[in-house]
Chains A and B, each alone.
Chain A
Amino acid sequence: MSDAPTLSGLVPGVATTAPAQPERAPTDWRTQSMQRRIRKRYASERRFRLLGLAAVVLSAGFLAVLLVTMVYNGASGFLQTRIALPVDFAHSGLLLTPAELRGPGADLALSTANIEGLTDSSARAAFGPDGDRWVSDGGWLRVRQALKHDPALLTARTTIWVPAADTLDVAAKRQGDPAAEAIVAKLQARHAISTGFNLPFLTASDSNDPTRAGIWGAFKGSLFTMLVTLLIAFPVGVLSALYLEEYAPRNRWTDLIEVSINNLAAVPSIIFGLLGLAVFLGTFGLPRSASIVGGLTLALMTMPVIVISGRNAIKGVPPSIRDAALGVGASPIQVVFHHVLPLALPGILTGTIIGMARALGETAPLLMIGMRAFIASPPARLTDPATVLPVQIFLWSDQIDRGFVEKTSAAIIVLLAFLLAMNGFAIYLRNKFETRW
């Protein structure tokens, strides 16, 4: 073909069958420009890899900074400063006998005794006229506890470690004002001050006094709320996903439902709070601030996420498995529950983790239904007034008292631990179902 143009040029009138194309010159793979192209390609590969690595390092760095700051600020929230308070029960003037404290009426007897006054006077006797202000407002509880534990103390003189007042607590952790630091130094000289693990932080509920404030109430509230959310959102979400994927006909109505669910997943959470306020509190008259209402509201928010991820997971189950099951005579429901659901479950659980993690960290919708109240006792039932960890963090971060700063950080650590435990459990479940076959 290479001589075709010349031929038609030489002999006019000779029609060539097709417009002849000049033959391509053989490609030389060794030219300078080829080498440059190769170098450029390598450079762009390298650049892309470095960019990716940088992105990973950056996000890991942010995460590390977040965790380190949190632990650094929050660790002291788990510690409590205590001072050694000498109490002379023998000369206290308490109208109690050891026999009374051993009987069943011990609590009643203790509640009539002025232990709070005894604690204050003991502190004044030990540390001077301001001494009662060095002890935490809740310090007398520890005295009462000691007495209940060992009624024989009534006739003795003993030393009880009581929580230090808020200002001393802050100063002992080296953040306080000069006056408080001086007192701490004086107590340290007498070996009358120590720092230990703050168990009440994990077992007590909210309080105005940072030395007495604990996380248990909010933790239990979160637990209840998440339980309600999971129990509502997971079955409803999974059943909706199964129905829409496996049974529902494809028509305008199911298209509309699909669009609505996708939009619902993107609705700002506070709007769900308004919905919860209007429907659960307004229409159904459920109690305010209750974890059941919080759970229902968050379930509405979590459901679309579970439905969407569930549908994707169900779509991912190969049709050949369905054919195989139908082929041996499995009924549609057996196909779904024996084959489709188990294979889709890991994907569904991934979506559930994401939805539940978002629900656990949610504050705004819960504020709308009154879960921001000051709750001094942990909820015993789903209908009891409760608060949740993120709301508790929000409330504490608003407090003026300096003692709450570390409590806030400590509460964040508890929230993160809760989240990790929840996700860990879900990942455990996922792996269990994935490796079963």
Chain B
Amino acid sequence: MTLTNHPKISAQHVTVWYGAKKAIDDVSLDFGSDHVTSLIGPSGCGKSTFLRTLNRMNDTIAAAKVEGDITLDGEDIYAPEMDVVQLRARVGMVFQKPNPFPKSIFENVAYGPRIHGLAGNKSQLSAIVEQSLRRAGLWDEVKDRLTDSGTALSGGQQQRLCIARAIAVDPEVILMDEPCSALDPIATAKIEELIHELKGRYAIVIVTHNMQQAARVSQRTAFFHLGSVVEYGATSDIFTNPRQERTKDYITGRYG
């Protein structure tokens, strides 16, 4: 299901097994670098599993086995010569539950650049931290307390800190796994606004349960059901004129 001519990440015939259970069945999706793609579908349909194959976070689960091809700029990310650590720096991730390190706000953002040697000296590092926090829309709220613990922030601030942490390593793709599911509507609105601002700079793939959110933030939507993609297309088409009956039933609230 190709919608872009130059996909940033391309998944072809991806099948994921958890032991003997097939979690994803032959999924092919392309993600362009200039839009936000949302993955929607009922719980347990494999959206998060699919997302985690894109930066090989599934490697940490011993029973998970991935088949098919996933390429980042044409490079096979499951090839033996692909360095997983670097891949995860290029494909950043924001998780469902805000998970800042129990360190200072500064350290949270500086950690990635530091381990990848992205800053030559202290002032460069500070500049990266400031820029990342600004892009995450958090700078004005935390600039006077960068040494406070990241875990002392509110839930919404923590999630924006996690986004700042992800963009501090200058990724090409950002994967977001239900980033707003633990947040209140105001914090959610801020994150959505942030996603709008980050659009174009990074390829963004977002998993969400909230269909309004998918409609608001994304230009492409893929509807997952029972481990496979039912429909993939422009968000406006999916929500106003779904081709598949199952998609229509889901977005109109018949099930899910």
Q: Which residues of A contact B (CB under 8 A)?
A: 249-250, 318, 320-331, 334, 338-339, 343, 437
Q: Is the CB of B95 within 8 A of A320?
A: yes
B57 CB contact (under 8 Å) in A250, A321, A326, A338:
A326
In contact, B89 and A329 (Cβ under 8 angstroms)? yes
Chain A contacts of B168 at CB under 8 A? 328
With contacts A327-B55, A327-B166, A329-B169 taken as known, whether A321 is within 8 angstroms of B101 at the C-beta atoms is yes
Query: Shortest Cβ distance from B10 into chain A, in angstroms?
Result: 21
Which residues of chain B (88-138) have a CB below 8 Å from chain A? 88-90, 92-95, 97, 99-104, 111-112, 115-116
Residue pair B99, A329 in contact (C-beta under 8 Å): no
B-side residues, CB < 8 A to A, are 55, 57, 60, 62, 85-90, 92-95, 97, 99-104, 111-112, 115-116, 149, 162, 165-166, 168-169
CB–CB B88/A322 < 8 A: no
Other CB < 8 Å A-B pairs besides A330-B111, A437-B103, 5 of them? A327-B55, A327-B92, A327-B93, A328-B165, A328-B169
Within the complex, what minimum Cβ distance (angstroms) separates B152 from chain A?
A: 10
Bound together, the chains give a CA A36 to CA B91 distance in angstroms of 65
Q: Cβ of A328 and Cβ of B102 under 8 Å apart?
A: no
Least Cβ–Cβ distance between A221 and chain B, in angstroms:
41
Residues of A within 8 A of B60 (CB): 322-323, 326
Chain B residue contacts of A318, Cβ below 8 A: 99
Minimum C-beta distance from B232 to chain A (A): 25
- State whether B57 touches A329 (Cβ < 8 A): no
Determine the residue in chain A with the shortest Cβ distance to B98.
A320
Query: Is the Cβ of A324 less than 8 Å from the Cβ of B85?
Result: no
CB distance from A379 to the nearest CB of B (A): 44
A334 neighbours in B (Cβ, 8 Å): 115
Measured CB to CB, the closest approach of chain B to A73, in angstroms, equals 48
Q: Which of A327, A331, A437 contacts B95 (CB 8 A)?
A: A327
Q: Which residues of B contact A331 (CB under 8 A)?
A: 85
Is the Cβ of B62 less than 8 Å from the Cβ of A437? no
Contact in complex: B95, A329 (CB < 8 Å)? no
Which of A249, A250, A325, A329 meets B101, CB within 8 Å?
A325
Residue of B nearest to A330 (CB): B115
In angstroms, how far is the closest chain A Cβ from the Cβ of B155? 13
Residues of B within 8 A of A339 (CB): 101
Q: From A320, which residue of chain B is reached at the shortest CB distance?
A: B99
Interface pair A437/B85, CB less than 8 Å apart:
no
**Distance between Cα atoms of A334 and B89 in the complex (Å):** 14
- Please tell me which one of the listed residues A250, A321, A329, A343 contacts residue B86 in the complex, with CB atoms under 8 A apart: A329
CA separation between A321 and B169, bound complex, in Å?
A: 17
B112 touches A329 (CB 8 A): yes
Report the bound CA distance from A318 to B102 in whole Å. 11
What is the minimal beta-carbon distance from B199 to any residue of chain A, in angstroms?
20
18 contacts between A and B (CB under 8 A): A321-B99, A321-B102, A323-B60, A323-B99, A324-B101, A324-B165, A326-B88, A327-B88, A327-B93, A328-B92, A328-B111, A329-B86, A329-B87, A329-B89, A329-B112, A338-B111, A338-B115, A437-B149
Considering the complex, give the chain A residue whose CB is closest to the CB of B102.
A437
Are the CB atoms of A328 and B166 closer together than 8 Å?
yes
Complex-state Cα separation, A318 to B100, whole angstroms: 11
Complex Cα distance, B95 from A326, in Å, reads 12
Q: Which of B89, B97, B103, B104 contacts A328 (CB 8 A)?
A: B89
Q: A326 contacts which chain B residues (CB < 8 A)?
A: 57, 60, 88
